Amino acid sequence: MCGINIAGMSDTATKLSAQSLNLWFGSKQVLKNINVAFNKNEITALIGPSGCGKSTLLRTFNRMHDLVPDVRIEGEISLEDHNLYEDGLSVTQVRRRIGMVFQKANPFPKSIYENINYGLKINNIPAADRKGIIENALKESYIWDEVKDELQKPATRLSGGQQQRLCIARAVALRPEVILMDEPCSALDPLSTSKIEELILKLKKDYTIVIVTHNMQQAQRIADKTVFMYLGEIIEAGPTANIFEHPQNELTGNYVQGHFG
Ligand SMILES: Nc1ncnc2c1ncn2[C@@H]1O[C@H](COP(=O)(O)OP(=O)(O)OP(=O)(O)O)[C@@H](O)[C@H]1O
């Protein structure tokens, strides 16, 4: 089995891609010859059984493994024409261009306002611009109406779904090009989940979105493309309807039909 490109590597629609990517934790190889490309203004879902390497792959795009001892990465990750691991880009520069939202909402133990302001400060956004950026990010993340009168309230007092929308606002405030989402709805109730899905669908107008999900309905509701992984490899990738309705590989079919997971 080998990695499959979703879009041609030279395609001008490609925003982020991995070429011949291999990753080991110690002696254990967790990613095997990954070749994949994510298009601008599309949502791509990464699916596959627990432990197949979805989060590990997502994290390579944000240099989250930089401080993990014993990790070895080979191959290339390109953000348009930059190699994320070689072109002298700092982690801060990479994360400004590629934001990440985690499974469990992780607001800082500070006010709603300061949760967004902090990232702007460390990225040297002038103080005079920050108030407007914060307001826009909260509006863009569909949470402004709920928090506009209590911006100084501790973010940890928001509901789980509100905290997750705040974390998305924190990511979009920096105007990244790509947003990575690692099971962003797994801790949320159905109503909060549908709000986040609506938000993700709206955000794809401006961003490239890659989302790890265990929820097959969610992948079908929101993803333009789907990538199925198994034991560290990409087994099949393509338009979401093809993966779910006409999988080419038996493993893919068995997984999306819920025969294993
Ligand atoms: N920091 C680490 N050190 C050592 N092994 C790790 C580390 N992080 C992940 N792994 C291993 O890498 C493999 C892939 O894990 P990963 O979290 O990427 O899978 P996943 O597909 O996202 O799983 P899940 O759906 O359960 O979140 C697993 O065997 C895991 O134990």
In angstroms, the Cα distances linking 168 to 19, 100, 141, 171 are 28, 8, 6, 5
With a 6 Å cutoff on the Cβ, whether 50 touches ligand 1 is yes
- Is the distance from CB of 41 to CB of 223 less than 8 angstroms? no
pLDDT at position 8 is 41
Interatomic CA distance for residues 99 and 111, integer angstroms: 21
- pLDDT at residue 12, as a whole number: 65
Q: How far is the CA of 191 from the centre of ligand 1 (A)?
A: 29
Indicate the top mutation candidate among 22, 23, 46, 54 to test ligand 1's pocket, ranked by most ligand atoms within 8 A of CB: 54
Q: Rounded to whole angstroms, how far apart are CA atoms 64 and 121? A: 21
Q: What are the distances in angstroms from CA 159 to CA 73, 188, 189?
A: 38, 10, 11
Of all protein residues, the one whose alpha carbon is nearest to atom 4 of ligand 1 is 25
Answer yes or no: is the C-beta of 144 below 6 A from any ligand 1 atom. Answer: no
Write down the domain spans for the chain: 14-98+176-256
Which residue among 29, 30, 31 has the greatest number of ligand 1 atoms within 8 angstroms of its CB, and so is best to mutate? 30
Question: Nearest Cα to 71, choosing from 79, 61, 60?
Answer: 60
Q: Rounded to two decimals, what is the model's pTM?
A: 0.92
ipTM of the predicted structure? 0.97
pLDDT at residue 261 greater than cutoff 80: no
Helix axes 127-140, 160-172, angle to 10 degrees: 130
* Beta strand extents in 129-196 (DSSP E only): 178-182
**Rounded-to-integer distance, Cα 79 and Cα 92, Å:** 15
> Taking 90 as the threshold, does the pLDDT of residue 253 lie above it?
yes
Q: Report, as an integer, the average pLDDT of 182-207.
A: 92
How far does the chain reach from its first CA to its final CA, in angstroms? 19
Dist. CA 50–CA 72, nearest whole Å:
22
Which of the four pLDDT bands, split at 50, 70 and 90, describes residue 11? low
Q: Measure CA 253 to chain center.
A: 24
Evaluate if residue 89 carries a pLDDT over 50.
Answer: yes
Q: Which one of 3.40.225.10, 3.40.50.300, 3.40.50.970, 2.40.50.110 gives the CATH number of domain 14-98+176-256?
A: 3.40.50.300
Please, what is the average pLDDT of the chain?
A: 92
pLDDT at 81: 83
Among positive and negative, which fits the CA dihedral 98, 47, 226, 21?
positive
